[in-house]
Structure 1
Amino acid sequence: MDLIVAEYLLETPFPVEEVAAMMAGEQSSGTFVRVAGETDELRARAAAQVLSVEVLGQVDSPSLTSAYVERKGKAGPFTRARVRIAFPPGNIGRNLPTLAATVSGNLYDIGEITGLKLLSVELPADYRARYPMPAQGIAGTRATLGVTDRPLFGTIIKPNVGMTSEDIAALVDRLCAAGVDFIKDDEVCANPDVAPLVTRVPAVMKVLRKWQDKGRNVMMAFNITDETDAMRRHADLVAAEGGTCVMASLNWCGLSGMESLRAATPLAIHGHRNGFGAMSRHPLLGIGFPAYQSLYRLAGVDHMHVHGIGGKFVDHADEVTEAARACLAPLTDGADDRVMPAFSSGQWAGTMPSAYEAAQGPDFMFMCGGGILAHPDGPAQGIASLREAWEALSAGEDLEQAAQSRPALAAAFRFFGAR
């Protein structure tokens, strides 16, 4: 039978093979002692299996404290290992929160563990097929915008909060005139009193329909983050006004909320991962992006944020690259479920080569807030600098050399490159 395989980075002062077996038992049929009704047949059918334990080395101090370890007087050394555990899909069924509870759950609280990070989740094809595919994904998003051969150039509504619906609509009009493909609300602007969705969506969509009549399609990701029923109502409003995309903060809406939203709307869902750092930044605690994106892609999102290389956030270039390539790889062989990675945070024309290399092609969103809006010659030249950068990259030119004959790109280098 095909199995769901989770890989972990484990730290413990106890024998790693014993702790790995404990992890498998805790998250399937077993507990710390055999219980009534736990037959050999049940164990054979439902028990998780430890597939491998690869010892990586030892350290003198624990990454995390454990009252259990202290009680047992275990002072180290603390062994670190990669552990792979396989879980029977029949234990879970089509149940995304329970899948997450199975591969994570109480594992973080096991007393013998002083460090644990879920690195990846591998799914059998027939199990992946139980969940929705992206409604739009890369191909659908490109078809909506009529952009086939380059990255999608996007930006974010700034200031983050405080503008009225009319102010935001006016800014959207300027951005459409500048030539942007994609616009999104900021993650902290969902349904504020000063610009509630009930007035903001019609005001913005009136502008977008005007530009559509002129032959320009622009996708707006309205932030509809809310409780589940409200999100469905917000998505219906966007659809009724002719919109094509909604955005939600994945970590605060949760897996179930995102599943419910996907089931309720055919619109593209722009998945914003704000708060992910709380899950990922510690090297021996939480969830790595490959595992994280597997779970949220089962919820049916179409785009996922991966941060940006050389941007304002903490990510190393290899972390952003890993995230982008995970989004661009099918979850299982033969599945047409790739999602569009969205590079953001401190991006401008000069950081595009790194994004292009990370994505290994043009299938990505390149999101620039200041990189467009703060261009010294205005937003239109901010977009022009991105187009000029892409022209140069496509031709195999060095970007700084190319800037010598491309004025918008040259101005971007003078302004942003000095920062």
Structure 2
Amino acid sequence: MSSKIEELVQSLNPKQQGYVNLELPDPTNGEYLLTVFRLVPGGEMNMLQAAAEIAAESSTGTNFRVNTETKFSKVMNALVYQMDLERELVWIAYPWRLFDRGGNVQNILTYIVGNVLGMKEISALKLLDVWFPPSMLEQYDGPGFTVDDMRSYLGVYDRPILGTIVKPKMGLTSAEYAEVCYDFWAGGGDFVKNDEPQANQDFCPYDKMVKHVKEAMDKAVKETGKKKVHSFNVSAPDFDTMIERCEMIRNAGFEPGSYAFLIDGITAGWMAVQTIRRRYPDVFLHFHRAAHGAFTRPENPIGFSVLVLSKFARLAGASGIHTGTAGVGKMKGTPEEDVVAAHGIQYLSSHGHFFDQSWAKIMETDKDAIELVNEDIAHHVILEKDSWRGMKKCCPIVSGGLNPVRLKPFIDVMGNVDFITTMGSGVHAHPEGTRSGAKALIQACDAYLQGIDIKDYAKNHRELEQAIEFFPEK
């Protein structure tokens, strides 16, 4: 321990001492959920004092030591166990027995990024990474219906699942909305999603939208001979309405696999996410992250990272979550943030900003676990017949300013094709409309798969040629 840190330890009051153990024997022994925060104190406290107060407020304590503590309650204290003064980082271990044993993600986040983000003792507090022990993974749902299941339904295996968001995002009638869906599917696209504000607006009644989308899908499937998928936003003002919308979709005659349930996970809440996961484990659960920027933008000193949000989405059971375009599209984000988050939720074992996370539920050293990791790296489907061995993957969903011209640049940054892309204006702004926009997207993907530069491929593909002329490369 350095003399500077020793000096900080000596500055702790008796209450704060109960939330610090810089010699914690083995934080990865399975007893703790581990976190790394960037912390800048906001008052008169030094860094370790502020970290101790954060550990207290986010676990068992308050601003003063209370006389109602018990020997057992002290065992539930969160513990500051490591510091990096130069980088303004603190590591805090949370006994995971603190958390609701019903596998409740909302409960965890209430602790670790709840009241602490409003404490006056801090001027910066950003949760950068989190680590779940295997003993804890057992208590949580993880994804049920995965992107591998969607690929099997669509018959699409060697490329991204190519999708769109209907634009304009609001203002189309239910029939007009369905027409856009049909045009995209007829042009060769796989996947259409409601945009995040879609609900039961008077100009686009929900029941009629569902009915017309079903009719449009049937027509497109018949004409193209290819399966299609639509993601419906079932976020609602109350539990009953949310379930009513889910049941309306299930009873509309869609084939199993041809529809997904979209939840605005941050604004609707984690309870809505986990309710859908538990009630409909056979449906792709699409986590839209509207409002995430309030927490995740790198310049925001308060909140949590994209990686943390994405990891909790996988823990909660989301089949897919939007992870950003890594600077290729219009949204704020970098490869360091967005690609790390994407890889962190799609692989059985992944490198985070600070932690190496294994999503295996069996011993990492077990030969079957090692084989699963190797199969996963080779992009083979895993955990189909041995789901007890690990938590299934969560799919990165990529949207925000992408277009056919930017498809290959994003794939190059991403490092794989195991994602769903949902281009909005990148399809619908095509000079000849949505159907040609879908064709241009398919052609851009075909060029990538064949290893041909899109400008060369466009010489014999008019829709792609028009897209290249219309959309900027950057």
TM range (shorter): 0.7 to 0.9
CA contact (8 A) 1:96 1:298 kept: yes
Q: Tell me the alpha carbon deviations over residues 139-187 of structure 1, each in whole angstroms, 9 at most, x when there is no partner.
A: 1111221211110111111221222212222222222211110001111
* Aligned match of 2:39: 10
What TM-score, normalized to structure 1? 0.88
CA contact (8 A) 2:76 2:98 kept: yes
Aligned length: 395
Question: Partners of 1:204 and 1:142 in 2: how far apart?
Answer: 21
* Aligned match of 1:312: 330
> Which of 92, 112, 118 matches 1:109?
118
* Aligned match of 1:299: 316
Question: Partners of 2:413 and 2:346 in 1: how far apart?
Answer: 10
* Aligned match of 1:337: 392
Question: Partners of 1:319 and 1:41 in 2: how far apart?
Answer: 39
* Aligned match of 1:220: 230
What TM-score, normalized to structure 2? 0.78
> Which of 76, 82, 100 matches 2:109?
100
1:364-403 mapped onto 2 (5 Å cutoff):
364-400=419-455, 402-403=457-458
Following superposition, the deviation at residue 253 of structure 1 comes to 0.9
CA contact (8 A) 1:50 1:84 kept: yes
3-state SS in 2 of match to 1:114: strand
* Aligned match of 1:174: 183
Code of the residue aligned with 2:97 in structure 1: it is: G
Code of the residue aligned with 1:144 in structure 2: it is: Y
| Ranges in structure 2 where 5+ consecutive residues have no aligned partner | 1-28, 349-356, 361-389
Code of the residue aligned with 1:6 in structure 2: it is: T
> Which of 186, 199, 205 matches 2:195?
186
CA contact (8 A) 2:210 2:249 kept: yes
Q: Tell me the alpha carbon deviations over residues 190-212 of structure 1, each in whole angstroms, 9 at most, x when there is no partner.
A: 21112121111111112213333
Q: CA RMSD in A?
A: 2.2
Following superposition, the deviation at residue 377 of structure 1 comes to 3.5
3-state SS in 2 of match to 1:251: helix
Q: Does 1:84 align with 2:91?
A: yes
3-state SS in 2 of match to 1:304: strand
Following superposition, the deviation at residue 101 of structure 1 comes to 1.2
CA contact (8 A) 2:199 2:234 kept: yes
Code of the residue aligned with 1:326 in structure 2: it is: G
Question: Partners of 1:408 and 1:208 in 2: how far apart?
Answer: 23
Question: Partners of 2:94 and 2:289 in 1: how far apart?
Answer: 27
* Aligned match of 1:70: none
CA contact (8 A) 2:142 2:391 kept: yes
CA contact (8 A) 2:184 2:438 kept: no
* Aligned match of 1:270: 286
Code of the residue aligned with 2:338 in structure 1: it is: V
Question: Partners of 1:172 and 1:32 in 2: how far apart?
Answer: 55
Q: Tell me the alpha carbon deviations over residues 58-86 of structure 1, each in whole angstroms, 9 at most, x when there is no partner.
A: xxxxxxxxxxxxxxxxxxxxxxx111111
Following superposition, the deviation at residue 235 of structure 1 comes to 0.9
CA contact (8 A) 2:96 2:136 kept: yes
3-state SS in 2 of match to 1:29: coil
Question: Partners of 1:173 and 1:186 in 2: how far apart?
Answer: 16
Code of the residue aligned with 2:90 in structure 1: it is: V
Q: Does 1:350 align with 2:405?
A: yes
Question: Partners of 1:28 and 1:100 in 2: how far apart?
Answer: 11
CA contact (8 A) 1:324 1:358 kept: no
Question: Partners of 1:316 and 1:261 in 2: how far apart?
Answer: 31
CA contact (8 A) 2:191 2:230 kept: yes
Q: Tell me the alpha carbon deviations over residues 260-315 of structure 1, each in whole angstroms, 9 at most, x when there is no partner.
A: 12222232121111111112224311121111122222221112112323322233
Question: Partners of 1:259 and 1:176 in 2: how far apart?
Answer: 30
* Aligned match of 1:250: 265
3-state SS in 1 of match to 2:438: helix
Code of the residue aligned with 2:346 in structure 1: it is: L
* Aligned match of 1:127: 136
Q: Tell me the alpha carbon deviations over residues 2-54 of structure 1, each in whole angstroms, 9 at most, x when there is no partner.
A: 110111111116321222222222222333333223234432x2111212111
Could you say if the C-alpha distance between residues 194 and 372 of structure 1 is closer, same or farther in structure 2, counting changes exceeding 3 Å? same
* Aligned match of 1:50: 80
My pick for the range that moved more, 26-35 or 227-236, is: 26-35
Question: Partners of 1:271 and 1:42 in 2: how far apart?
Answer: 35
My pick for the range that moved more, 325-334 or 295-304, is: 325-334
3-state SS in 1 of match to 2:358: coil
* Aligned match of 1:25: 56
CA contact (8 A) 1:310 1:317 kept: no
3-state SS in 1 of match to 2:126: strand
My pick for the range that moved more, 246-255 or 127-136, is: 127-136
3-state SS in 1 of match to 2:411: helix
Could you say if the C-alpha distance between residues 418 and 321 of structure 1 is closer, same or farther in structure 2, counting changes exceeding 3 Å? closer
Question: Partners of 2:61 and 2:437 in 1: how far apart?
Answer: 58
Question: Partners of 2:226 and 2:92 in 1: how far apart?
Answer: 50
Aligned identity (percent) is 27
Q: Tell me the alpha carbon deviations over residues 63-122 of structure 1, each in whole angstroms, 9 at most, x when there is no partner.
A: xxxxxxxxxxxxxxxxxx111111111111332222111111121222221111111221
Code of the residue aligned with 2:343 in structure 1: it is: R
Could you say if the C-alpha distance between residues 353 and 96 of structure 1 is closer, same or farther in structure 2, counting changes exceeding 3 Å? same
Following superposition, the deviation at residue 356 of structure 1 comes to 1.0
Could you say if the C-alpha distance between residues 383 and 395 of structure 1 is closer, same or farther in structure 2, counting changes exceeding 3 Å? same
My pick for the range that moved more, 105-114 or 268-277, is: 105-114
Following superposition, the deviation at residue 358 of structure 1 comes to 3.4
Question: Partners of 1:390 and 1:166 in 2: how far apart?
Answer: 29
> Which of 240, 243, 268 matches 1:232?
243
Could you say if the C-alpha distance between residues 378 and 34 of structure 1 is closer, same or farther in structure 2, counting changes exceeding 3 Å? closer
